[in-house]
Structure 1
Amino acid sequence: MVERPRRGRPPASDQQRQQQRLDISRHAVALFRQHGVAATSGEQIARAAGISERTLWRCFRTKEACVEPLLAKSIDAFQEVLRTWPRELELAEHLRESYTPVIDSGDEIEAVLAVIRMTHDEPALRAVYLVLRERAEPAFAEVLADRMGLPADSLEVRMQAAATSAALRESTDHLVATATADGVPEEVLQKHREHVADALRRLTHPPAL
């Protein structure tokens, strides 16, 4: 049997789909910042991203969910630090040396922090943010379990992962509150690293009662 050539566009790769989602996210956040979430429609987001509404809704279930890829950059940055945590270093020390709130620096960090800032006033965006952080906890637990010598699904590890996620969320919220309209100065980022490192040091080395 002669194989017929395939018609139409070839299927997108996972990397292409992820890039498309990120591009949509950037346009959605720009519109949310300019007009507000309520005043921004899916049609506007699709038009700004140069795609059809049908494609938009294939990528995201709601317009608020469009912020997921940018918000995930903050969580991914911390996961990357955990994955590269040298065994000879305390986690707090490693964070001071290696952690940045967003993997890609420059304009990306401004967009990510802008989304997090909007989550304080937009319940639907806050829900997306909190769900993403909750989904990240198993990844935190895997690394912590290895260091603690316990199963990743043990109560001790899951509580440590949840506490780590909460400490990171509160520290990031503080960074958002202290960032200026001109951006995030290096000294502010350094203080953020110190806040995260100190919080996790207290979690892993609680004071004696």
Structure 2
Amino acid sequence: MEPVLPKWDDSQTIVKSKLTSRASIRILERFPLKVEDVETLYDTEEMAGGDPEALYQLCRLLLNVWKYAVFYQPKPEVFLELLQENAYPGPVVKGILEAYSSEAMSEVVESLASCSNSGIPRVISTDWTCRTAIRRNNLPSSDREVVLTLTTDEGVKHVQLSSEHLEKLYWTVNKVQASLDGILER
């Protein structure tokens, strides 16, 4: 189900830019967050003298705003228009836009972009070791083999390639490089 930008709840009593920005940053730092986890955003010392239910109501609304913002990543001016169309008060819009341009938002987007939903580990780096098999009497054979070490987000994987697989990999890498060169020349 796609997130929807909620309308401003007129019963909301908190209309402050700094509080909106701080609550938004807190949500983004713990993103993805479930609605039932909103009450864990603030501890009792931070709530002294405040109205916890009003703050949690604001945080639930902001959570839906951030789900929408992270899913669609609208440009700031488009996001501003959407918030105004949905009757968000000026101070709340200001607080949301401050958080939208924050490092926390960038980190959320980057962490979600680097997630793999395919179940295949993401490759971080590669290392090659090439060796020639030695026959009896210390005579090198014509068989070459390569050990490809892949460092992934799930750890290190070692793959041995025969000369036939090595040749296929070589031509595949050349095709990819030629495609990249073509893109860069445009």
What TM-score comes out, normalization by structure 1 length? 0.26
Which structure: larger Rg?
2
What TM-score comes out, normalization by structure 2 length? 0.28
